[in-house]
Amino acid sequence: MPFIRKLGPTDLNRLKDHFARLDYNDRYLRFGHQISDSAVNDYLERIDWTQAIVLGQLENGVLRGAVEIVPFGSSVPEKAELALTVEKPWRGAGVGRELCRNALILACNRGIHDVMMICLAENVPMQRIARKLNGRVMRLDGEIESRVILPRPGPWSLLQEGLMGSAAIVGEVADQWATRQVSNECGAPAADDRSAA
Ligand SMILES: CC(C)(COP(=O)(O)OP(=O)(O)OC[C@H]1O[C@@H](n2cnc3c(N)ncnc32)[C@H](O)[C@@H]1OP(=O)(O)O)[C@@H](O)C(=O)NCCC(=O)NCCS
- Asked if residue 166 is part of any domain, the answer here is yes
Our count of domains for the chain comes to 1
Q: Could you list the residue range(s) of the whole structural domain that residue 95 is in? A: 3-179
Q: Return the bridge partners of 136, or none.
A: 147
Looking at residue 181, its pLDDT comes to 79
- In this structure, the residue with its CA closest to atom 17 of ligand 1 is 125
Could you tell me the distance, in angstroms and rounded to a whole number, from the CA of residue 47 to the centre of ligand 1?
Answer: 24
- In this structure, the residue with its CA closest to atom 18 of ligand 1 is 125
Q: How far apart are CA 182 and CA 60, in angstroms?
A: 9
- In this structure, the residue with its CA closest to atom 4 of ligand 1 is 96
> What element of type H or E holds 52?
none
Looking at residue 188, its pLDDT comes to 56
- Asked if residue 194 is part of any domain, the answer here is no
- Asked if residue 184 is part of any domain, the answer here is no
Could you tell me the distance, in angstroms and rounded to a whole number, from the CA of residue 155 to the centre of ligand 1?
Answer: 31
- Asked if residue 130 is part of any domain, the answer here is yes
Stretches where the chain sits below pLDDT 70 are 187-197
CATH code at position 52: 3.40.630.30
